[in-house]
Amino acid sequence: MRYLNLIESKLAILSLLFAATMWGIIWYPMRLFEQAGMSVVWVTLIMYLTAGIASLPIFIKNRYRWEHIPADLLWLALAAGMTNLAFLVALNEGQVMRVMLLFYLSPLWSVILGRWWLGEKLSLAAIIMFVLAMGGTVLMLWRPEVGFPWPHGLADWLALFASLCFAVNNVLSRKLAAVPMALKTTIILWGVVAVSIVVLLLQQASLPSVDISVWLSAVLVGGGIIIAMTMTVLYGLARMPVYLAAVIMLFELIVAAISSALLTTEMMSLQEWLGGTFIFIAAFGIAQVEKANR
């Protein structure tokens, strides 16, 4: 029995590392699709629509009924939809590492929202980590020629927006802990679909005029990578403490740093790396705070 538990634990770690790796390189196929003439919003819609359709048999098998879905679950779908779309667009529009690091402010927002929304205690250590993360953010955003440390450009704003939405996503997930994972997964996938459709309608975007192979590639990415990432994350989270999973998922930053260095000419300044280091330490520290509070 102990041997089986050890194998399961290792599989959980490998599952999270796989998911982190996929999220660390997801920006690259997004840019390839953009170069082929299909926008990130369209690609996101196709990918998540494919994954959403694939999840429907589970929804039907468990006889879930739409009228029985808690209102908070619909808010979760909205938060997840905005998180995924904003994050993917930001990765396509901005520097990969800069977007990734700004997005990793989400654990800090989760702590603040948890205190405000769920009444969770805010420890001294959590406050210190928050101040450290804010200091890192100021370093990353500050430009002497501009003055006040404010987001510069669409990518920065979207990365920060995605981090806040992801924090809302995390807090709602805690609040809905009793809801079956299969139901939450299905609702989240369709939440991304719904948000993507709304954005396309607001943009009055026309159907992409691209080769059929591009459409099929988007379907394959959705049916393969998105489903695989979702399943591996859920498998790992179900078998591992939250604080440990949070630390493992930071591997995404390492993958993003290596992939962006190899596949692009993007360069971050020393100031940006220093600010990013503060954010990384703060995200790691929050995971340790979660561990201490258990």
pLDDT in tens, 147-165: 444 667 888 899 989 988 8
Sign of CA dihedral 57, 232, 126, 106: negative
Contact assessment for residue 236 and residue 12, using Cβ atoms and an 8 Å cutoff: yes
Any domain includes 286: yes
The answer, yes or no, to whether residue 249 has pLDDT greater than 80, is no
* Model pLDDT, residue 255: 84
Question: Counting every residue, how long is the chain?
Answer: 294
* Model pLDDT, residue 67: 57
* Model pLDDT, residue 32: 92
Any domain includes 5: no
Q: What is the pLDDT of residues 99-126, one digit of tens each?
A: 888 887 776 776 666 666 656 566 677 6
* Model pLDDT, residue 116: 61
Domain total of the chain: 1
* Model pLDDT, residue 243: 60
Contact assessment for residue 85 and residue 49, using Cβ atoms and an 8 Å cutoff: no
Q: What is the pLDDT of residues 42-78, one digit of tens each?
A: 999 999 999 999 888 877 776 665 556 677 888 989 9
Any domain includes 1: no
Instruction: Using CA atoms of 46, 167, 164, 29 in order, give the dihedral in degrees to the nearest 10.
Output: -30
**CA 38 to CA 208: how far, in whole Å?**
6
Any domain includes 165: yes
Q: Please state the pTM of the whole predicted model.
A: 0.81
Radius of gyration of the chain (CA): 19
Q: What is the pLDDT of residues 186-238, one digit of tens each?
A: 888 999 999 999 999 999 888 888 999 999 999 988 878 888 887 787 777 66
* Model pLDDT, residue 48: 93
* Model pLDDT, residue 273: 78
Any domain includes 4: no
* Model pLDDT, residue 216: 92
Domain with 15 in it:
11-292
